[in-house]
Structure 1
Amino acid sequence: MITWRAAALVGAGTALLAIVGAVAGSAIGAAWLWGAAGLLVLAVGAACVVDFLGAASPKLLKLSRSGDQALWLGETGRVTLLLHNRSDRVLAARVRDSWVPSAGASPTMHDVRIEPGRAVAVTSTLTPTRRGDRPAVRVMVRSFGPFGLTYRQTSKTTADRLTPPWRLRVYPRFNSRRLLPEKLARLRVLDGSVVTRGRGQGTEFDALREYVVGDDVRSIDWRGSARRSDVMVRTWRPERDRRLVCVLDTGRTSAARIGDEPRLDAAMDAALLLASVAARADDRVDLLAVDTAVRASVTNVEKRTLLFRLVSTMAPLEPSLVETDFGLVAGEVLRRERKRALVVLFTALEPGALGEGLLPVLPQLAARHKVIVAAVHDPELARMARVGPDATPADVYTAAAAQHALAERDRVAAALRHHGVEVVDAPADEFASRLTDHYLALKHSGRL
């Protein structure tokens, strides 16, 4: 292929001949000018052929990659592309390293000069704007000749063959990680506290101690008191090795944007904080992502690898524009969890989805497990429901629609509580904290 330099040479030569013809006038014939122009074109053409033959073949390149393979959303990483020149000519080339747009690659164009048998590395900085797998698409190489008049470029087929595969996995944003020290401090206080009201569901025996004024007499251990010749009471602590199942609804309601992120991403953030605290409390954490099929599953994972497995599994999940099959959700939970567990369902308090799908199967699920419906709501809806003194008719209709939506959400929450389900409904910036606090409160009261 010919570069702009060849056209510039022909244009400059033609302009020079035109000036010479204008100055010399009839002293130089038109035939001479046309002949000179023809010779100029032939000379440039011959130079282009020589230049093309002198360009190193990009097909002889060997490409490899190294660098980051995983990042948290919002972080910046680097991936290095190594180009090894296996030809016997100097390679002067422009390399285009293409990624999907959401990978945030910069720069994508690199000018390199590689001696025969040598290698050069070029680095791209990646700042992903979406979680999931962000692949490298294609490396195109344009090899220029010694004069820069022509170039050789890899075809699409050749470029696909030469391009080394690379996939950057972007983990979901974990903004609530900043709350983890506070929640773990509360958990340590909870583990050290004493429940003196007697054994409850979700507690286990801790120790015997002497009775003090204010202790519940129902906690007295009469056999222990007889052996010790003193009044002894039993103390209880929150039971360990409980089972927590986080169920992510990946149906159509999870695609709604709450602020600047989808509802599914807010649910992931809250699930990561909840799972991190539950794992520190020695509870077993499982994960399910379901809409009309099971999209992801994490079960029986050790505590030390739990967070990695969760973020790796969540990263490629995307909302599906289908109605979630809550019958499938209940069936999967009942099939997988034989013992009583705390089931946290991350979904939306929407009458159509929950009223027709979840409520019919809820009694069966709630009879076997403790169920929490965790929903993140948009604070914009509450703002729209307020009407100012200078409101227009359009504002009044908007407020009426918003108030109707809020009333429907409250009605669904009341119906869920009627079936023994606990509801955590909070704005996105408080959602993860409130849900984890609710878990700690349940654990403290022995209601897991």
Structure 2
Amino acid sequence: MGRHLTTARTYFGTDTRGMLEGGRYALLHTRSLEFDDLRPYVPGDDVRDIDWKASARSGHVLIKRYVSEKHHKVLLVADAGRKMAAATPTGERKSDVAVNILGAIGLITLGRADQIGMVFGDTRGCVNIRQRRGETHIESMLHRYYGHVRSRPGRSDIVCQLDYVATHYRHPMLIVVVSDEPEVDDRLSDSVRRLTGRHDLLWAMVTDLPAVGTTGDDRAGFDVSTGRYVLDSATLGPRVVTAYRRAEQHRVHRLAEFMTTHAVPHTRIDGSAQIRSRLVELTGVYARAG
């Protein structure tokens, strides 16, 4: 297993059972009537698949497993612009957290033999990697993304990537967006509306280190988008800092309300240590959708 997938597995683990199942386009992951083998029952399995005769003989509850006929087509859509060079609340670089999230999704698809591709980029354009299966393919995608975001990326604007996907991908699929927390405006609303009309959409947002120092941390911030420094909280004063924090709470609430209104399951991730719990929760919401 390659470097990026190995790192992702460190944070995500190896148990991917039940993830990315269901959803509005569950018909993309169906099974044939051809019996494959038996396996032990685990909580969450469909009781209709229990082989009662085999269970009685063995003394353990066994599930019939069938040969899969079709699988999900998964498309990763990732921000590879300057914003991903910023720091997260845990001090990690956002691009490092993002590549671990992308790798975790890749690990889930490996267990299901799903086809997976990726669109990433910045305001200058998009890189489109066709959907394929396999560990080598996923590691290659992660390597290309990481190389782009670590070079000299342009300004971040995830709407550019969303518009590209809405224009070039017509067949229904599962789209997983990995970006910073986007600005809610008419452009974002139009892009999300176009995508959710045809596809299933999940969104994992990598959060920023607060621009103004948290309590006990008065260091000045740095805006990676503009190259400008942000004054420290001692210089700004308590009234400005309080107003900033109030505005941040409003922004986060407005973004969550936007995603909920557009029926987009979403999560905010502060660092790599949260990837497992946040993605389990996110895929659980997806599985219950539709």
One-letter identity of the residue aligned with 2:10: R
- After the TM superposition, which residues 370-409 of structure 1 pair with which residues of structure 2 at under 5 Å, given as runs? 370-378=200-208, 384=214, 394-395=237-238, 397-409=240-252
One-letter identity of the residue aligned with 1:367: G
Task: Check if 1:283 corresponds to 2:126.
Answer: no
Matching residue of 2:84: 254
Task: Check if 1:296 corresponds to 2:121.
Answer: no
- After the TM superposition, which residues 132-281 of structure 1 pair with which residues of structure 2 at under 5 Å, given as runs? 175-184=7-16, 187=17, 190=18, 204-205=30-31, 240-258=70-88, 259-281=90-112
Partner Cα separation in structure 2 for residue 337 and residue 263 of structure 1: 27
How far 1:415 moved relative to its partner? 1.1
Q: Alpha-carbon deviations, 1:277-307, whole Å to 9, x = none?
A: 1122121111111212444332133314223
Instruction: Report which of the two structures shows the higher radius of gyration computed on alpha carbons.
Output: 1
Aligned-pair Cα RMSD in Å: 3.9
Counterpart selection for 2:169 from 316, 328, 337: 337
Partner Cα separation in structure 2 for residue 202 and residue 385 of structure 1: 49
Partner Cα separation in structure 2 for residue 248 and residue 333 of structure 1: 11
Matching residue of 1:311: 142
Q: Give the number of the structure with larger relative contact order, counting CA–CA contacts within 8 Å between residues 6 or more apart.
A: 2
Please, which runs of 5 or more residues in structure 1 have no aligned partner? 1-70, 73-171, 209-218, 220-234
Q: Say whether the 8 Å CA contact 2:78–2:177 is kept in structure 1.
A: yes
Matching residue of 1:358: 188
Partner Cα separation in structure 2 for residue 435 and residue 332 of structure 1: 27
Moved more, 269-278 or 422-431: 422-431
Q: Say whether the 8 Å CA contact 2:77–2:162 is kept in structure 1.
A: no
Matching residue of 1:63: none
Matching residue of 2:179: 347
Q: Say whether the 8 Å CA contact 1:296–1:313 is kept in structure 2.
A: no
Partner Cα separation in structure 2 for residue 282 and residue 439 of structure 1: 20
One-letter identity of the residue aligned with 1:348: D
One-letter identity of the residue aligned with 1:400: A
Q: Say whether the 8 Å CA contact 2:265–2:285 is kept in structure 1.
A: no
C-alpha spacing 1:396/1:239, structure 2 compared with 1 (3 Å): farther
Matching residue of 2:155: 322
Please, which runs of 5 or more residues in structure 2 have no aligned partner? 35-47, 49-64, 217-232
C-alpha spacing 1:173/1:309, structure 2 compared with 1 (3 Å): closer
TM-score (norm 2): 0.66
Partner Cα separation in structure 1 for residue 196 and residue 96 of structure 2: 26
The list of structure 1 runs, each at least 4 consecutive aligned residues, that deviate by more than 6 angstroms after superposition, is 235-239
Q: Alpha-carbon deviations, 1:322-354, whole Å to 9, x = none?
A: 25261x423421344332111111122243xx4
One-letter identity of the residue aligned with 2:179: T
Partner Cα separation in structure 2 for residue 287 and residue 382 of structure 1: 34
Matching residue of 2:220: none
Partner Cα separation in structure 2 for residue 308 and residue 173 of structure 1: 6
Partner Cα separation in structure 1 for residue 285 and residue 203 of structure 2: 14
Matching residue of 2:256: 413
Q: Alpha-carbon deviations, 1:310-332, whole Å to 9, x = none?
A: 23312321263425261x42342
Q: Say whether the 8 Å CA contact 2:79–2:178 is kept in structure 1.
A: yes
How far 1:180 moved relative to its partner? 4.4
TM-score (norm 1): 0.45
SS in 1 for 2:132: coil
Q: Say whether the 8 Å CA contact 1:288–1:296 is kept in structure 2.
A: yes
Partner Cα separation in structure 2 for residue 382 and residue 282 of structure 1: 44
How far 1:359 moved relative to its partner? 1.5
SS in 2 for 1:320: coil
How far 1:366 moved relative to its partner? 0.9
Partner Cα separation in structure 2 for residue 252 and residue 423 of structure 1: 22
Q: Say whether the 8 Å CA contact 2:158–2:179 is kept in structure 1.
A: no
Structure with greater strand percent: 1
C-alpha spacing 1:422/1:200, structure 2 compared with 1 (3 Å): same
One-letter identity of the residue aligned with 1:333: V
How far 1:237 moved relative to its partner? 10
How far 1:246 moved relative to its partner? 0.9
Instruction: Give the % identical residues.
Output: 13
SS in 1 for 2:138: helix
Partner Cα separation in structure 1 for residue 6 and residue 155 of structure 2: 26
C-alpha spacing 1:433/1:284, structure 2 compared with 1 (3 Å): same
Partner Cα separation in structure 1 for residue 137 and residue 179 of structure 2: 22
One-letter identity of the residue aligned with 2:8: S
One-letter identity of the residue aligned with 2:85: A
